[in-house]
Chains A and B, each alone.
Chain A
Amino acid sequence: MADTSIDVAYVAQLARLEIDPAQTEKLRRELGDIVSYIAKLDEVDVSGVEPTVHALSRSNVWREDVAKDSFPREKMLANAPETIGGDLIKVPQVLPGEGSN
């Protein structure tokens, strides 16, 4: 954990987050401070300790395999930025080069 110099542009790329280039240096410094701080976990011996995913662990929560009505489509799509005839979500062009329609 010694290396606390974060490549902000690379991480922002992973997170699909547009960052103002003027903010990159400030973010690198702030994140660097936080990462240096959390490196204090290096002090703790965790050999043989199991990780905790949830505080009160439950596993395999099943429900009966019973068919039910699904959530109404018009309600679900009411919040979509763009739809095609209120029936489908309209998304921006996915593959380059094809004509969009």
Chain B
Amino acid sequence: MANVDFATLGVVSCAEALAQKKYSSRELVSAMLENIRRSDGRIHAFLNVDENAALAAADASDARRAAGAPLSDFDGVPIGVKDNISVEGETLSCAGKILAPVRSPYDATAITRLKSQGFIPFGRLNMDEFAMGSSCENSAFGPTANPLDVGRVPGGSSGGSAAAVAAKFVPAALGSDTGGSIRQPAAFCGAVGLKPTYGRVSRSGLVAFASSLDQIGPLAPCVEDAAAVFDAISGHDPLDCTSLELPGAKTLAAVRAVARTNPLSGMKIGLPGEYFGAGGISSGVAKVMDDAVAALRKLGADVVEVSLPHTEYAVAVYYIVATAEASANLARFDGIRYGDRKKGADLVDTYFKSRGEGFGAEVKRRILLGTYVLSSGYYDAYYLKAQKVRTLIRRDFEEVFRKCDLLLTPVTPDVAFRFGEKSDPLQMYLSDIFTIALNLAGNCGVSIPGGVDAETDLPVGIQLIAPDLAEDRLLAAAAAYEKNVFSFRPAPFGC
């Protein structure tokens, strides 16, 4: 325990400490396990941790380092994993009852890549059931609390991932982002959260929610750590036919170059008027945005107002496309081939009972909505129409990126809210307004801590958005902001 400095816990800092033999991977994993045993009772970031698997992987890593043959600079660094990303032999419940008995038969490609570089998949992180939700309150196994204020939600759906990073339980974590599920919890917990370009990270082994929107990405304490994990998991995968035929990203070099150069100098950054005029932005978030704009200008960026005219339709398009795809994807969970079976009078009755008892309220609501918008007579009016408006939303981004290098927007209208504060589903959906357009358009975005809300002392996230495949530019700008303007370093939870 003594050797591990939890205050600076991160991917790069752990890799350096391992290389310098400040501690072994076993000592690191053991100290993390002790920390979690002591403090996670109050956070509930983890659904479970397979301690033996983590320790065995740590021992194997230590043996490689002792033999002078580490698999990469990051050999022996543990990464927390959201419970919808497959790790062989571990749970894959998606925080839902219906998949509670399942153990993954294989590794997701993102996990295969991490393991091949010596990273250790560590524990199963809580989430909103099947990634449907913005608060982690929809977990069938109980909510996760925000380590910065345990009376507040950590955001969602990757709430366990964000909370584990903020509490310093893990150096970084994997999440998945369908409509903001990485960026919004990162904002609520003061972490960095990257939604990569669609197709950049394989979806093989990620339990599908909305296949045309889902993307795996990192949550981490700083931009450099997020870049290291993103580089490790990205790249073409023949197992995912929507995976882009490109080699793995190399953003870490661009991020590290920020130590010597200022990428913001001369960069053109657009502020979409529709995101700021939408109303509902709290005064604390507005103040952080104003300060961020001033700081970026001071660093040499040319900040200009731009327009994304179809922004106001993004939430409507999203809740048609996402629920339609979800209703089809979740049809496979019927208690027959895997998962929890609730026996009925016959086969069809078994479907009804297994699904009726196995899914939570929000998942049922979305399956019903998706089934409705795809049902006979409504397909053209809802799903086809939404796909056409989706084209217009994508064109908005293409148009605006002819004029600017990046966009700057809020991530959420307000800081992390209190448990139970948002009980109306539509109201909850509308709070996703700033994050979902990106999933529809497919390009990349990152949420980074932008400043602090004066009233609550909680961090406020800001979102930088880049065109398709421009993660290096995106993360370099984020790193420059972090270095020159604001960085958030919470104390380890419970210390």
Contacts and interface: CB of A to CB of B under 8 A. Distances in A.
B313 A40 contact: yes
A5 B491 CA distance: 51
B319 A38 contact: yes
Nearest to B364: A17
B181 to A, nearest CB: 16
Nearest to B241: A61
Given A6-B372, A15-B371, A79-B102, A37 B426 contact: yes
Interface in B345-367: 346-353, 355-357, 359, 361, 364-365, 367
A35 B320 CA distance: 9
Nearest to B104: A79
A30 B426 contact: yes
A11 B356 contact: no
Residues of B contacting A: mostly: helix
A63 B438 CA distance: 30
Interface stretch (B27-35, B154-162, B273-281, B334-342): B334-342
A51 B309 CA distance: 18
B310 interface: yes
Of B102, B238, B386, chain A has the most CB atoms within 10 Å of the CB of B386
B432 to A, nearest CB: 13
A96 B347 CA distance: 10
Interface in B382-415: 382, 384-392, 394
B466 to A, nearest CB: 14
B39 interface: no
Nearest to B442: A55
B369 interface: yes
Nearest to A49: B388
A20 B337 CA distance: 25
Interface string A36-64: 01101101101001111111101001010
Given A56-B244, A76-B105, A51 B390 contact: yes
A15 B335 CA distance: 14
Contacts of A50: 388, 391
Given A34-B426, A46-B388, A17 B356 contact: yes
Contacts of B394: 52, 55
Contact of B375 (A11, A38, A44): A11
Contacts of A34: 319, 369, 425-426, 429
A89 B394 CA distance: 44
Contact of B371 (A11, A23, A58, A78): A11
Q: Pick the 5 closest A-B CB pairs, nearest first.
A: A55-B442, A18-B356, A51-B387, A79-B338, A81-B341
Interface of B: 101-103, 105-106, 197-199, 212, 238, 241-242, 244, 310, 312-313, 315-317, 319-320, 327, 331, 334-341, 343-344, 346-353, 355-357, 359, 361, 364-365, 367-369, 371-373, 375, 381-382, 384-392, 394, 424-426, 429, 439-443, 468
Interface of A: 1, 6, 8, 11-12, 14-20, 23, 27, 30-31, 33-35, 37-38, 40-41, 43-44, 46, 49-56, 58, 61, 63, 71, 75-76, 78-82, 89, 91-94, 96
14 contacts: A16-B334, A17-B356, A31-B372, A33-B424, A34-B369, A34-B426, A43-B313, A46-B388, A54-B242, A55-B440, A81-B338, A92-B343, A92-B347, A92-B349
